[in-house]
Structure 1
Amino acid sequence: MELTIDENILEAYGFNKENINIQQIGSGLINGTYLLTNLSNGEHFVLQQLNTSVFTNPWAIANNIETVANFLKINSPDYIFPAPLHTTNREAMYLHEGKYWRLMPFVKSTVALDTLSTAKQAFEAAKQFGKLSRLLDNFNSSKLEPTIVGFHDLELRFEQFKTALSQASVTVKDQAAKEIETAFEFEPILTQYLQLGSNADFPNRVMHHDTKISNALLDKETFEGVCVIDLDTLMPGKFISDLGDMMRTYLCEFSENERDLSKINIRVDYFAAMIKGYLSEMGSILTSTEKGLILFSGKYMIYMQALRFLTDFLNGNIYYPTAYADQNLDRAKNQFKLLEELVKNEEQLQQLVDAELLDK
């Protein structure tokens, strides 16, 4: 649909309402995203309003992206990294009436998919997320600030779950009794993670932290990977965040909102393609410890998301938007089922990982 944006925002980037067409785009729930078309030359841009309820330090995001962009310009000048464009006053964002806006280049002839429909798409997306990490292998990740503190901290998420459990009503706890029991049954995943500690062979890297398929741009004709977008959570982290989030969102045909748990299964061919794509970029860089944690990364991220949904249900649904009262509980059931499926198929999946690592 055609929209209007305050003219002060357009003027900050050298536009005016007479020469710009505006359409809302994107399926994300966090930021408002718009496609701007320059009517005089047909050039496209992406305008976005940052959600400061989620991202409380917008300048950390801006500084992180600009720091990485400068590194890539020098070390990988041909790589497409759609960093925000500056305002006419050379600012990375424009602050208007308490809201932060930014303008990004539009990457032509690409598509962002909401769902995966082929294993090739899984390969291409995983390759792109791996490529970004590979190109930043020699970048000092400590130069970046966390944009969401504790975002993928499983220890923190488990403590939040226990706090929510201690404060929930008896009725709510009874309703979620099976899922609460399952959460404690999978606690060894947290134990294994904590045992890694500050292992030097498990380094901090620059991670994207949100590797769903819609954040990888693919060529609209060939579906070959082009680049990644949505760089708000580009910050220091562990490789298990990116690879694990890919497993969580690529391996099942259905999303976390599917209530029919019989549909929650692992697509083994998608797993194989994803691992092949990721290791085609990262296979020569991952340490021996990291290589041993490839399958664990899926357990880690799926378990964390299950805990987050369950915690929000126990807290009265205060974080994730819901369409009905028990949706977060249903989402937790969905993610625990996905985790159980991953464990059930572990032997076969590990064989695929081992075979792929032999080629690296």
Structure 2
Amino acid sequence: MEEIFSAYNLSQNQLDVELFGNGLINKTWRIKNSHDDYILQKINHTVFKHPEAIAANVRMLADYLANAYPDFLFIRPIKTTTNEEIVHIHGKGYFRLCHYVRQSHTINAVEKKEQAYEAAKKFGQFTKLLSGFPIDKLRVTLPDFHNLSLRYQQFTEALENGNKERIQQSKELINFITKNKKIVETYEHILHNPAFKLRVTHHDTKISNVLFDKNDKGLCVIDLDTVMAGYFISDVGDMIRTYLSPVDEEEKDFSKIKIREEYFAAIWKGYMSEMSNELSTEEKNHFIYAGKFMIYMQAIRFLADYLNNDVYYGAKYKDQNFVRAGNQVMLLRRLMENEASLQRLIEGK
């Protein structure tokens, strides 16, 4: 790490370095010395082909917020001695260094409805405060990341060209996905509906992307690699997908998958506490749809990868992506079964 630290004028022999967190995409370390703590991240440039686009986005957002909302906590990278936000080490990759927020912590799984509320509020606040940011200036860091039309096309291509034995095995899942193609059609309607606005969108609203204080109050959102122009359904949908069930997408026992309605209510209240005046009536009417959108898309992605012999996600055991797809289909079934009840929660009935 000597070459990285020298770019920040830090002396390696005065630093303690330890691996930090359990992120799947970027590798992270906590760096300590006698008077400061840092977070060092290696950007996965296999996933993010243009790390400089991430750096440009974060720089523009940081400058905007510092000017418009100077008290808002936004973690921007520390600049190198040559005034850069990222360090490129030839043959090693791209790295960035940030200050560690002391007395903060992250949560890997939502265990209390209050945590869901705080996270939803923070993601909503992030988008609201950036409502005046010129959206056309944001660069695309992951092309077509939440393009459901493209994901469905990739799914149909997998049905045509994929592993025939796996296609036969997956018939029940395939039938459910094709039967619910209306979710794709609704997405395509949104793209052409002026009531739906492109905004600064995080696109990865799992609970671990929020920093909490010692009292589990939200401090700020982190991991801004996927921040791009997008629709609110991406952020709300990912919260619904990852907060409502007590088990995650790796759970093999589908009987454990359920919809915790009080957690849905917390997402609605937290997000709307910030975004109520930002969203149109039609957008608000698609709040539950946001969950269907994200869960359906993730089911498609897992199943298409399974049919294509696990070329994208890989598999740690046989049929892992088949299990993941089935898990997400079950979660979508549960959400659809509870839709009327969730709508009553929104309406306060």
Query: What interval of TM-score do these two structures reach, taking the shorter chain for normalisation?
Result: over 0.9
C-alpha distance in structure 1 between counterparts of 2:191 and 2:316, whole Å:
39
Deviation at 1:250? Answer: 0.1
The count of corresponding residues between Structure 1 and Structure 2 is 348
Matched with 1:353 is 346
**Which amino acid in 1 is paired with 2:2?**
E
* Fraction of identical pairs, as percent: 43
C-alpha distance in structure 1 between counterparts of 2:159 and 2:29, whole Å:
40
Matched with 2:234 is 241
Deviation at 1:129? Answer: 0.5
Q: Choose the corresponding residue for 1:29, options 11, 24, 43.
A: 24
Deviation at 1:195? Answer: 1.8
Matched with 1:338 is 331
Matched with 2:245 is 252
C-alpha distance in structure 1 between counterparts of 2:165 and 2:190, whole Å:
37
SS in structure 1 at match of 2:119: helix
Q: Which runs of 5+ in 2 are unaligned?
A: none
Write the deviation string for residues 22-69 of structure 1: whole angstroms up to 9, x where unpaired.
01011111011000002x32x111001110110001111000010011
Matched, 1:229 2:256: no
**Which amino acid in 2 is paired with 1:30?**
I
C-alpha distance in structure 2 between counterparts of 1:70 and 1:273, whole Å:
31
Matched with 2:286 is 293
Matched with 1:323 is 316
C-alpha distance in structure 1 between counterparts of 2:189 and 2:222, whole Å:
33
Matched with 1:3 is none
- Pairs within 5 Å for 1:89-168: 89-98=82-91, 99-168=93-162
C-alpha distance in structure 2 between counterparts of 1:342 and 1:324, whole Å:
28
Runs of 4+ in 1 over 6 A off after TM superposition: none
Q: Any conservation in 1 of the 2:104–2:212 contact (CA below 8 Å)?
A: yes
Deviation at 1:134? Answer: 0.6
C-alpha distance in structure 2 between counterparts of 1:256 and 1:65, whole Å:
30
Matched, 1:277 2:265: no
SS in structure 1 at match of 2:48: coil
Matched, 1:46 2:46: no
**Which amino acid in 2 is paired with 1:81?**
F
**Which amino acid in 1 is paired with 2:38?**
F
C-alpha distance in structure 2 between counterparts of 1:109 and 1:275, whole Å:
28
C-alpha distance in structure 2 between counterparts of 1:156 and 1:305, whole Å:
13
Deviation at 1:318? Answer: 1.3
Q: Any conservation in 1 of the 2:40–2:97 contact (CA below 8 Å)?
A: yes
C-alpha distance in structure 2 between counterparts of 1:107 and 1:198, whole Å:
41
**Which amino acid in 1 is paired with 2:263?**
Y
Q: Any conservation in 1 of the 2:295–2:332 contact (CA below 8 Å)?
A: yes
Deviation at 1:332? Answer: 0.4
C-alpha distance in structure 1 between counterparts of 2:306 and 2:77, whole Å:
36
Matched with 2:173 is 179
Matched with 1:68 is 61
Kindly report the root-mean-square deviation, in angstroms, between the aligned alpha carbons of the 2 structures: 1.0
**Which amino acid in 1 is paired with 2:135?**
S
**Which amino acid in 1 is paired with 2:8?**
Y
C-alpha distance in structure 1 between counterparts of 2:314 and 2:347, whole Å:
39
Write the deviation string for residues 101-146 of structure 1: whole angstroms up to 9, x where unpaired.
1001211111100011110001001110011001011112111011
Deviation at 1:197? Answer: 3.1
Deviation at 1:322? Answer: 2.1
